[in-house]
């Protein structure tokens, strides 16, 4: 059976791959959305922190002998703590200023972090093996699905919707949302807002590092892996609506699928299709698909 001259099997395969890529977009844009929502910082260092996550996993494995499963838990904590350090020492001075200052600071940080890794590890990067338990794959009939990719989709969905649930449906989440609306009032109710902001930034960064660990076995771990991805992820956030949690998750997955489809019909355009959509969305709904006009 063919759809527009493409065998349906090929189509299914490409859609599945789109979904896998979409889960990376979702998890990264979720971190950005959380940070933007509460801190009003456009975190340009997100890509570099994602790269740091991947490298920390590699360092853990190669230098310290820590396996993938340990890295999956430990690396987000370590990189998240590094993020909190950045927030405490640098970002907190910028909250009263225009978005542009935060963007420039984090952009500078991204360049510095990338430069340091490039200096130490070279540009070709390092190879991280797929963990034993998840090597091999399933034959789905229409394609060979590596177990690891299936794991990536599953764990990303759990993390994304788990984060959404915490933020939108729990008491802790209600503090966070109140913080984005009116921090002064929340402070008056006795909530330690600066601490909450630090922890939120740490959480957003930890998500980036988590995505980095997830990506390490499928992509070559190299110092520029984050800067290749960050622009696409920003487009996802803009399309979803800056600061919208559900928006970033749904848009991330959706755009992964659209990108997958483009690769079937016109592969040359697969790198631009997301930006074309971004242009159209900005013209029709400047606040993004799920965003609110402020």
Partner 1 sequence: MKRKILVSTVAAAVAMAPALSPAATTVSDGIVKLGVLTDMSGTYSDLSGPGALEATKMAVEDFVAKEKPDFKIEVISADHQNKADISANKAREWFDTAKVDAIVDLVTTSTALAVMKVANEKNRISLVNGAGSTPITNEQCNDTTVHWAYDTYALPVGTARAVVKQGGKSWYFITADYAFGHSLEKNTSDVVIKSGGKVLGSVRHPFPGSDFSSFLLSAQASGAQVIGLANAGADTINSIKQAKEFGITPKQSLAGLLMFISDVHSLGLDATQGMYLTTGFYWDRNEETRAWSKRYFERMKRMPTMAQAGDYSATYHYLKAIKAAGTDEAKAVMAKMREMPVNDFFAKNGKVRVDGRMVHDMYLAQVKKPSESKYPWDYYHIREVIPGDEAYIPLAESKCPLVKK
Binding mask 81-120 vs partner 1 (x if CB under 8 A, - otherwise)? ------------------------------x---x--x--
Least Cα distance to 227 among 85, 41, 7, 46 occurs for 46
Q: Is 265 in the site for partner 1 (CB under 8 A)?
A: no
194 touches partner 1 by CB under 8 A: no
Q: Does 125 bind partner 1 (CB under 8 A)?
A: yes
For position 68 contacting partner 1 by CB under 8 A, the verdict is no
Q: Which of 67, 170, 174, 228 binds partner 1 (CB under 8 A)?
A: 228
Member of 162, 194, 267, 286 binding partner 1 (CB under 8 A)? 267
Work out which of 148, 201, 210, 234 binds partner 1, going by CB under 8 A: 148
Q: Name every residue whose Cβ is closer than 8 Å to that of residue 143 and which is 6 or more positions away in sequence.
A: 9, 12, 13, 16
**CB of 143 or CB of 289, closer to partner 1:** 143
Contact call for residue 270 and partner 1 (CB under 8 A)? yes
219 touches partner 1 by CB under 8 A: yes
Binding region for partner 1 (CB under 8 A) out of 33-41, 54-62, 161-169, 223-231? 223-231
Interface pick for partner 1 out of 8, 64, 93, 127 (rule CB under 8 A) = 127
Residues forming contacts to partner 1 in the complex (CB under 8 A) are 7, 9-10, 13-14, 17-18, 20-21, 111, 115, 118, 122-127, 129-130, 137, 143-144, 146, 148-149, 217-220, 222, 224-225, 227-229, 260, 263-264, 267-268, 270-272
């Amino acid at each position: 059976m063919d759809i527009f001259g493409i065998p349906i099997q090929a189509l299914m395969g490409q859609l599945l791959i789109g979904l896998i890529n979409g889960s990376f977009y979702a998890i990264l844009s979720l971190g950005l959305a959380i940070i933007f929502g509460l801190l009003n910082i456009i975190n340009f260092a997100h890509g570099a922190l994602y790269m740091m996550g991947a490298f920390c996993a590699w360092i853990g494995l190669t230098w310290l002998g820590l396996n993938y499963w340990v890295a999956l838990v430990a690396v987000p904590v370590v990189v998240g703590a590094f993020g909190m350090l950045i927030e405490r020492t640098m970002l907190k001075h910028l909250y009263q200023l225009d978005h542009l200052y935060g963007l420039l600071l984090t952009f500078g940080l991204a360049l510095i972090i990338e430069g340091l890794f490039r200096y130490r590890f070279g540009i070709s990067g390092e190879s991280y093996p797929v963990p034993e338990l998840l090597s091999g794959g399933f034959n789905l009939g229409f394609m060979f699905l590596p177990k690891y990719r299936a794991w990536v989709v599953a764990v990303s969905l759990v993390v994304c919707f788990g984060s959404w649930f915490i933020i939108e449906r729990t008491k802790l989440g209600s503090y966070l949302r109140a913080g984005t609306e009116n921090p002064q009032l929340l402070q008056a109710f006795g909530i330690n807002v600066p601490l909450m902001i630090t922890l939120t930034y740490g959480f957003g960064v930890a998500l980036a590092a988590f995505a980095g660990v997830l990506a390490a076995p499928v992509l070559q771990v190299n110092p520029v892996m984050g800067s290749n991805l960050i622009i696409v992820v920003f487009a996802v956030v803009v399309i979803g609506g800056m600061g919208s949690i559900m928006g970033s998750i749904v848009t991330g997955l959706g755009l992964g699928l659209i990108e997958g489809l483009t690769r079937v019909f016109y592969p040359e355009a697969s790198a631009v299709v997301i930006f074309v959509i971004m242009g159209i969305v900005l013209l029709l709904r400047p606040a993004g698909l799920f965003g609110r006009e402020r």
